[in-house]
Amino acid sequence: MTYDRRAAFDVTGHFHYESPEEDAGYIASEVIRYGKSRGWSTDPSEQEVARQIAKILSKYNIGLIDPHAGVWGHRPGGTHSMGG
C-alpha cells in the first residue's frame, strides 16, 4: 500500500500509512496542530495496529480519547486500556 497525501483528507476510518510509526507521526502532528486527530479506524481487525500506535504515542501523552469514533488527542499516559 502506498500513501497518497492528497487522499488523506478524503479517506476516513482507516490507517493511512505503511507502518504504525508513520501513522503515529501523522496523528501526533494533528493533535499538536488541532488538538485532535479524527477519522481513524474503529474496525476490530485493525485493533492490533491501533495498539502499536497507542504504545508509540503514550510517551507523548497522546491516546484514544474516543475509541468508538477513532479520535486521538491529549491523554496523560496515553491509552492505558489498550495494553500499550
Per-residue pLDDT of 40-59, as tens digits, reads 888 888 888 889 999 999 99
Whole-prediction pTM:
0.74
- DSSP letter, residue 18: S
Q: Higher model confidence: residue 17 or residue 40? A: 40
Q: Higher model confidence: residue 33 or residue 14? A: 33
**54 in a structural domain:** yes
C-alpha cell at 74: 491529549
Q: Higher model confidence: residue 84 or residue 73? A: 73
Within a 10 A sphere around the Cβ of 67, how many other Cβ atoms? 17
**36 in a structural domain:** yes
Per-residue pLDDT of 68-80, as tens digits, reads 888 999 998 887 6
**58 in a structural domain:** yes
| E strands present in the chain | 36-37, 62-66, 71-74
**84 in a structural domain:** no
Count: domains in the chain: 1
Give the three-class secondary structure for 30: helix
